Structure 1
Amino acid sequence: MADVARLAGVSKATASRALGNYGAVSETVRERVATAARELDYRPNELARSMNTGRSMSIGVVVGDIENGYFGLAMRGITDTARRAGYDVVLANTSESVEAEIDAVKVLLDKRVDGLIISPASAYETQHLHDARDTGRPIVLLDRRLPGLDVPSVEVDIAPAARAATTALIESGHRRIAFISALTTDGPEFTGLPLGVSSVTDRLEGMLQALGAAGLDVSADLIRFGAVSRETTRQIVRQLFELPDPPTAVLASDSVIALDVLLALRERGLTVPDEVSFVAFDDFSWAELIDPPLTIVSQPVHQVGVTAAEVLLLMLQGGRPATQRHTLVADLVNRGSTGRPRLSARAARPQDAG
């Protein structure tokens, strides 16, 4: 800074104000300082700048699983929007662990991020998020909402599309429809709504609405949680298709689970849709490339990220969002992975291999 000030012919304090965009500095002096900084290839000490201005020009983002294409695409929307506004983005991945989320939020606050975008791992353990809000940093929830935490959320209204997907299966003759999720906050099997993650609650709510409208009972043995790896998903698929009355259709809660379920079905020798109909939540690059192309519930994921960043930037500028809950629309895209139930008897038998 001293070198920049000397070259520009101003005091160090004036150079600091000019480069930090705070305080009173004429445009002529500001341009002279900027020219000197470019000539010297000067880069400011961001920590020192944040101490002076109270702003780090950075936002923290906490997501559950960056391997999940949903969060990857949402991050693209966040970073594109933040960068245009002059903000850097610091990402933390929690693997849907509350403990990791608590640590991530603490680290980001210690790094003096100006605001946070968080996809909370659980609605049951949220004190750290209340504490973060009490620091005065703006917080926006991504993909999920938390009862009792008065901060904006940006989500997809996915229950209607889940209901439409389930209704289409019922109209095709399916009565045993399975749902598989990576959710870990509510035990391995379904015991009722709401759940610890609102986005999973919404998916199941739409499914249960369709079953109820058709006069069908909810089969708790077909709703399975804990599909957190290829092996656990394989075990869940094995358990489902060794039931006395196995499912004839499967709904996969996200793109990672969708791939693992398809692999597990293939290992059991079950074909889609001849023997099992299949619907996945989220669109992904390979969904149209496999044979048959997958029927999916498509979400405007990139726009979710853009909207979350826009809401946070508005709050950083002192504005107030028009609503606390911002919702976008999901659509059912019918392709070739669903049909009438034709489950063969071998689906219910344990396989010799695997």
Structure 2
Amino acid sequence: MDQSPPRSSSVTVADVARKAGVSKATAARVLGGYGTVSDHVRDAVTAAARSLNYQPNELARSMTTGRSGTIGVVVGDIENPFFSLAMRGITDVARQTGFTVILINSGEDADAEKSAIRTLLAKRVDGLIVSPAKESDADHLREAARSGRPLVLLDRGSETLDIDTVIADDRHAAENITRRFIALGHRRIAYLTACDTPDHRFRAPTDINTGSVRRRIEGFLDVCQKAGLERMEDWVHVGAVTPEHTYRIATVMLKSSRRPTAVIASDSVIGLEVFKVCRELGLTIPTDLSLVSFHDADWTSVTTPPVTVVRQPVYGLGEAAAKLLVERLNGNSAEATRVVLKTEIVERASVATAPA
């Protein structure tokens, strides 16, 4: 007679309870991770479940506990190394605390973000972590928060939402970079970002819907103004949404008769394209152009020259967001928390005095 354990799909809580010699209710508490049992009983039930190759029925468990055991995450661009590393921080915390993660990429599109949140709520995720595409379009985030599921904003906060938020000290970093450039004699300093406007022209920080980038540009412009540099808004270039767009913007900019002597790239994808265009045009970094990029991507340390970067606590952002969310899921009802993590400028060899 075949004595192999039943197929996992047919093994029930009752089967596990019978083998462990406990009641079905006790086995359900152990397998569902709720309630209190002795260590001896927990070990017996766990051993029985393992020997029978028991797999939990997630739908049934969620109906019993009111929890799905899942966290929904919506980010702007998963191909961007920034979000990939932040996701690692989120998933590590989720795994340690018994949650799985459902990830949806919005493509930095507000409508796609709204659809993603609706989908995740319909799947009954226990909580949400969202990196908003547009701070000015936040009604769907308010609705999500009112749904009763905890919500944490990642990297991009909102002044109008009383919601747990984890961001980096972006403005301070941009101010420090700009001061460094000005001290080295640079006056034509460009800032490149993927954020865009309807006519692809920048006029004021209020044009920028992404909070982290807006704070950087505010810091950049404030330092320039205090140093007596005028019309620096003209040196902010928007619309670098893809490598192809960035290539075109950087090529026009660096071929100009008034090309910048220094560039701040708002992320490492943009920084890489600027680096490539410099090579193609025969410009030398840092003799002809100084370059600093936000995010310490792997490539920045292996180029010739290696690129000075703003090292953001990207893993820490994801980790902190997930920890905040889990605390809420575990009953923390305190007022909304705003966590600001420090950045660090990593000096390499892509910055020099302005060319004469």
TM-score (norm 2): 0.91
Cα displacement string for residues 97-117 of structure 1 (whole angstroms, at most 9, x for unaligned residues): 112111211111112111111
- Which residue of the other structure, out of 276, 286, 289, is the alignment partner of 1:273? 286
Shift of 1:315: 0.9
Matched, 1:206 2:219: yes
CA distance in 2, matches of 1:245, 1:106: 48
Alignment RMSD (CA, Å): 1.9
CA distance in 2, matches of 1:229, 1:304: 24
Q: Is the 8 A contact 2:184 2:354 kept in 1?
A: yes
Kindly provide the amino acid, as one letter, of the partner of residue 265 in structure 1: C
Matched, 1:80 2:92: yes
- Which residue of the other structure, out of 263, 270, 285, is the alignment partner of 1:250? 263
Q: Is the 8 A contact 1:187 1:226 kept in 2?
A: no
Aligned twin of 1:182: 194
Taking the TM superposition and a 5 Å limit, the aligned residue runs for 1:149-160 are 149-160=161-172
Gaps of 5+ in 1: 344-354
CA distance in 1, matches of 2:160, 2:227: 34
- Which residue of the other structure, out of 119, 124, 128, is the alignment partner of 1:112? 124
Aligned twin of 2:51: 39
CA distance in 2, matches of 1:297, 1:322: 31
Aligned twin of 2:8: none
Change (3 A) 1:303 1:217: same
Provide the secondary structure at the position in 1 that maps to 2:332: coil
Change (3 A) 1:113 1:56: same
Aligned twin of 1:316: 329
Q: Is the 8 A contact 1:283 1:297 kept in 2?
A: yes
Taking the TM superposition and a 5 Å limit, the aligned residue runs for 1:101-140 are 101-140=113-152
Q: Is the 8 A contact 2:221 2:233 kept in 1?
A: no
Shift of 1:142: 0.4
Matched, 1:260 2:269: no
Question: Mean alpha-carbon deviation: is it higher for 197-206 or for 233-242?
Answer: 233-242
Kindly provide the amino acid, as one letter, of the partner of residue 77 in structure 1: G
Question: Mean alpha-carbon deviation: is it higher for 235-244 or for 146-155?
Answer: 235-244
CA distance in 2, matches of 1:323, 1:106: 23
CA distance in 2, matches of 1:29, 1:252: 58
Matched, 1:59 2:68: no
Q: Is the 8 A contact 2:162 2:336 kept in 1?
A: no
CA distance in 1, matches of 2:80, 2:331: 33
Aligned twin of 2:317: 304
CA distance in 2, matches of 1:326, 1:285: 26
Change (3 A) 1:186 1:142: farther
* Total equivalences in the alignment: 343
Provide the secondary structure at the position in 1 that maps to 2:299: coil
Shift of 1:27: 4.9
- Which residue of the other structure, out of 320, 328, 340, is the alignment partner of 2:353? 340
CA distance in 2, matches of 1:335, 1:50: 51
TM-score (norm 1): 0.91
